Amino acid sequence: MEREFTNVVLLFFCYSLIGWLWETVYCSLKAKHFVYRGFLLGPITPIYGFGVVGVLYLIEPYQQNLVLLFVLALLLVTVLEYLTSFLLEKIFHLSLWDYKDVPLNINGRVAVPVSIFWGLACVFIVRVLNPYLMNLITEWQQRFGIFLPMILLMITSFDLGFTLANLASLRQAINKMNLTIQDKKEQLSSDFGELKVAAEERLQNRQWLTELKEQPEWRKQLPKLNFQERRFLNGFPNMKSKDIIGPLAEIRQLAKELRKK
Q: 56 pLDDT exceeds 70? A: yes
Smallest CA-to-CA distance from 173 within 230, 211, 235 is with: 230
Angle at the Cα of 10 from the Cα atoms of 40 and 60, rounded to 5 degrees: 110
pTM, entire model: 0.83
Beta carbons of 210 and 228 less than 8 angstroms apart? no
Task: Name the DSSP class of 110.
Answer: E
Local confidence band at 216 (pLDDT 50, 70, 90 cut-offs): low
Q: Which residues contact 2 (CB under 8 A, 6 or more apart)?
A: 146
pLDDT band at 194 (very low <50, low <70, confident <90, very high): very low
Neighbours of 70 (CB within 10 A): 16
Whole-angstrom distance, CA of residue 3 vs CA of residue 44? 23
Q: pLDDT tens across 168-183, in order?
A: 888 888 888 877 777 7
CA dist 139 and 213 (Å) reads 58
Distance CA 14, CA 52 (A): 10
pLDDT tier at 123 (50, 70, 90 boundaries)? very high
pLDDT band at 207 (very low <50, low <70, confident <90, very high): low
Residue 91 has pLDDT above 60, yes or no: yes
3-class DSSP state of 94: strand
Rounded to the nearest integer, the mean pLDDT of the chain is: 83
**Average of per-residue pLDDT across 36-53:** 89
In the predicted model, what is the mean pLDDT of residues 190-207? 53
Beta bridge partners of 65: none
Beta strands 110-111 and 240-241, pairing class:
unpaired
The fraction of the chain above a pLDDT of 90, given in percent, is 37
pLDDT tens-digit series, residues 128-155: 999 999 999 989 988 888 899 999 999 9
Answer positive or negative: Cα dihedral of 118, 120, 126, 131: negative
Kindly write down the DSSP assignment for every residue of 34-80, as one continuous string.
Answer: -----SSSSS--HHHHHHHHHHHHHTGGGTTSHHHHHHHHHHHHHHH
Which three-class secondary structure state does DSSP give residue 93? coil
- CA 154 to each of CA 149, 158, 195: distance values in angstroms, whole numbers, following the listed order: 9, 6, 59
Whole-number pLDDT of residue 135: 92
Spatial CB neighbours of 29, under 8 Å, sequence gap ≥ 6:
none
In whole angstroms, give the CA distance from residue 228 to residue 39.
10
Chain Cα centroid distance, residue 177: 21
